[in-house]
Structure 1
Amino acid sequence: MQRIPCVLMRGGTSKGPVFLDWDLPVAIEDRDELLLNLMGSGHELEIDGIGGGSPQTSKVAIVSPSLHPEADVDYLFVQVMVSQRRVDTAPNCGNMLCAVGPFAIEQGLVKASKDLTRVRIRNLNTGTFVNAEVQTPGGKVSYEGDTAIDGVPGTAAPVQLTFLDAAGSKTGKLFPTGQTQDLIDGIPVTCIDMAMPMMIIEAGQLGKRGDESPAELDADKEFLRRLESLRLQAGLAMGLGDVSDKVIPKPVLVSPAKAGGTIQVRYFMPHNCHRALAITGSIGLATACVTEGSVVTQLLGGVSEPRLKQVRIEHPSGGIDVVLSYTGDQGETIRASVVRTSRRLFSGFVYATASQRLAG
C-alpha cells in the first residue's frame, strides 16, 4: 500500500486532512483522483476513506511554501463531494483556513515567535491574502485556551484571521452584476463576491421563516429545487457560467435576528444547509450589512451606521462575530477579521490501496 503523510485537523466548524503539496501527485487529475479515494468519496458515509460523510468533514487543505513576497505559505482548499466522485477547488474555505497557520508552524514552514506568530497565507483558490495570528507561547503552537466558538464543544486557543483583499475573490468585482440588488424570477437577490461568491435572499421571499433547522430545510425538496434554479441563474448573472457542477455561488437565506445579533442566516453549500456558517460566507454577509441597497440592509431597515465596526451573524449553532475595518483615503476598502479555533487531531499516514495508487 502507498502511504502518504497526513495531519487531520479541525479548523473552525470543519474538519479534514492537511497535506504538504509535495506529498501528493503533481498532475491535478491524478491528485484529485487520489483525494477522492483517500476520502472515500462516492459513498454517503465515505465508509472506505477518512472523510466524515458530510460536506463539513469532507474537506482537504494542501499547504506549501509560498514564492510570493507577501505570503509565507500557499494554501489550496479542496472540497471533496461526499456522494459524488467529484472535487471542487473554486472556493476558499475559511474554517479550514484557520488550521493552516498552526500546521505551517508545526511543519517548519514558518518560524514561531515567542508569544504570537503571524502567518501570511495566500489562498490559491481565489488569489487572496489572509493573515493568521497563532498563539505560540515559548515558540510552540498552543491549542489550549478559553476561546469558545459556536458549533464546536469546549474551548481552545484563538486564531485570528484577517482577510486583506477579499472583494471580488472569484469574479473581480464585489458586486459582479454591477448592482447591489437584482431580480431573478421576480425575487430580489444580492449577488456579492466578498471572500465567497454568494446569492443572498430574504427568507420570506421563498416562504420560509429563516429560523428552520438545517434538517427541516434539507427535507423540503421543492424548496431546494427552487433555490437551485435561482442559484444557477445567479451564477450566469455573476459571470461564473454554468454552475451546475460548481459549489459557487452559495445561496443564503437571511431573516431578522432573534438572539440580539445583527441578522439570522441559513447558508447552503450549495445543496445542503450548513449546520453553522462558513467563515468566508460570514465575511460577505457582514459586508452586505453595511452596503446601501443590498437585500440585507433593506431587511435591517437601511444602513443607519455605514461604518459599523462589528456584525454578529446568527446561524443554526449560535453565532459568528465579524469585526470590520476600513482602509483607503475614503475608507472605501473593507477588511474583515474573525476569531476561530483549531485543533490537531492526529498525524501519521493515510493509505491508498494498490488499485488507488497513482504515479506522482
Structure 2
Amino acid sequence: MFKHTLPRLPNRPKLTQLPPCSRQIQTKKQNSLPAAYYRGGTSRAVIFKQSDLPKDKNHWAPIFRSVIGSPDPYGRQLDGLGGGLSSLSKVCVVGPSTHPSADVDYTFISLGIKNTDVDYSSNCGNMSSAVGPFAVDAQLVPVHSNQDSASVRIHNTNTGKIIHSSFPVVDGEAASTGDFAIDGVSGTAARVQLDFIDPAGSVTGKLLPTGNVTDTFDGTRVTCIDVGNPCVFVQADDLGVQGNMTPEEITAHPDLLVRLDSIRRQAGVKMGIAKEREEVPGSVPKICIVAAPSTTDKRDIERKQTAGDVDLLARALSVGQPHKAVPITVALALAAAARVPMSTVAGVVDRDPVDRAGVTIGHASGNLLVGANFDADGGLTSATVFRTARRLFEGRIFWKND
C-alpha cells in the first residue's frame, strides 16, 4: 500500500514578546484638555483657558509642543495642529486679568517647527485680534444677549502692554460674518479694532533701545526700535536687493537669510535682549526689509503698491521665515519709525502720506493701514489696526507624551 507522508513543516518562529516598557507606551491613553482653535488676522493658534492648564507653568511646554506637532524634522507638523509656518505654529493662553486696567490676561507662545523652542518673549499682534472674541465666546467676559458690540481690555503678559479690542457680537457671541476684508485672508468677516495703548518699549522699555537712531552691523545701517515688539529695519538698497521680493524669492536668495539673521542677532545683543548672539530668541527682535514703492515696477502696479497707493514696502521675517504678510507688531514699529527723523524707515517713506490716518504699508500679500497717535513731543501714545478673527473649532484637544 502506498503511504503518503506529509512534508515536515519547519518550526514556526516564536512570537517575540514586547518588553514591558514598550508595551506600556503603545497602550497608553492620550491626554486631553478643553481648547479652541482661532484664526486671528493672518495667523492661527490653539487657545487655552489658563484655568484648564497645569498650575505649574513648567509643565506647559511639553503640552504645547505635542499639540502643535513640534519638533518635526520634516517641517510640516502633521502630527499636530501647526502648519509648517511660523504664523501657524502658535499657542495663546487667556485667563482672568492680573492688571487693574484689563479684563483678561493674554500670554502668547511661539513654537519652533523643527526644534523644541517654546518662546514666551514676544507678543503676536495678529493673534491679539482673536483674544477678545475668545474671551467673550468662552464667557471670560460676560455680554448681554441684546448687545451688538463688545470691548475687551487685554493685558499682554509678554510685554506688559494693554490692548483694547472692539468687535460686534450676536446673541452673546463674537460675530464672524461681516463685510471687512484684510489682505492675506480670503473672503470677508466682522471687523476687529485693536488699539495698542502706549506700545513703545514693549520689551526693552525704550523706543530706541540702543540709544541711537541708526546702528551699523556687518557694514549695514539699521534702525532698532521697540514698539509692539523689538524690531530691526534695514533698507533693501543697502542689502543690494529689491524691496518687492516675494517670500519665495527671499528664501531662494543664496545668502540673504543668513545675512539678515546675523544682523538681527547683533542688534538683539545691542538692544539688551540677550548677552550673546547665540542667546537671542528666534522671535525677537524681528527684522524687516524696507523700501520706497516704485512707480514703474510691473509687480508693484499689479499689487497697487506704487508710490500713490502705499507709503513704503516692507518684507518682514518671523522666526527665520519670510512672512506671507506683515506681523502687526512690525507694522506698529514701522508706523513709529516713520516718524523718527533720519531712521532707515523715514528714509523711504514719502512725506505726503497716502492716508493721513497713518502709514500704509505694502507687504507680500497686499496693503495694511496703521493708524498712529502721537503727543505734542512726538511720542507714540497709541496705534490702531483693523483685523478679522474667527472661531474655527472648540472642544477637547489631544496630545501624547513623548
1:6-26 deviation digits (Å, cap 9, x = unpaired): 101000000011100121222
- 2:94 maps to 63
CA distance in 2, matches of 1:333, 1:15: 28
> What TM-score does the superposition give when structure 1 sets the normalisation length?
0.94
Report if aligned partners of 2:33, 2:397 keep a CA contact under 8 Å in 1.
yes
Taking the TM superposition and a 5 Å limit, the aligned residue runs for 1:1-360 are: 1-43=30-72, 44-112=75-143, 114-241=147-274, 242=276, 244=278, 245-246=280-281, 247-257=283-293, 258=300, 259=305, 260-300=309-349, 309-327=357-375, 330=377, 332-353=379-400, 355-356=401-402
Letter of the 1:268 partner, please give it: L
Letter of the 1:313 partner, please give it: I
Report if aligned partners of 2:86, 2:319 keep a CA contact under 8 Å in 1.
no
Report if aligned partners of 1:252, 1:267 keep a CA contact under 8 Å in 2.
yes
CA distance in 2, matches of 1:304, 1:292: 15
Report if aligned partners of 1:65, 1:73 keep a CA contact under 8 Å in 2.
yes
Change (3 A) 1:109 1:343: same
SS of aligned partner of 2:359 = strand
CA distance in 1, matches of 2:162, 2:291: 31
CA distance in 2, matches of 1:216, 1:112: 47
1:138 positional shift: 4.6
CA distance in 1, matches of 2:277, 2:167: 36
Report if aligned partners of 1:16, 1:61 keep a CA contact under 8 Å in 2.
yes
The number of residue pairs the alignment matches comes to 352
- Of 151-160 and 182-191, more deviation after overlay is shown by 182-191
1:243 positional shift: 5.0
Change (3 A) 1:141 1:304: closer
Change (3 A) 1:304 1:290: farther
Uncovered stretches (5+) of structure 2, i.e. residues with no partner:
1-29, 294-299
CA distance in 2, matches of 1:141, 1:236: 41
**Aligned residues: CA RMSD:** 1.7
- 2:9 maps to none
Letter of the 2:286 partner, please give it: K
> What TM-score does the superposition give when structure 2 sets the normalisation length?
0.84
CA distance in 1, matches of 2:277, 2:130: 28
SS of aligned partner of 2:64 = helix
Change (3 A) 1:332 1:225: closer
SS of aligned partner of 1:166 = coil
SS of aligned partner of 2:139 = coil
1:13-68 deviation digits (Å, cap 9, x = unpaired): 00011100121222233201111111110111112111111111111110001032
CA distance in 1, matches of 2:48, 2:41: 18
CA distance in 1, matches of 2:90, 2:154: 18
Letter of the 1:283 partner, please give it: L
1:109 positional shift: 0.9
Report if aligned partners of 1:142, 1:157 keep a CA contact under 8 Å in 2.
yes
1:112 positional shift: 2.0
What is the identity percentage for the equivalent residue pairs of Structure 1 and Structure 2?
39
1:337 positional shift: 0.2
Report if aligned partners of 2:224, 2:267 keep a CA contact under 8 Å in 1.
yes
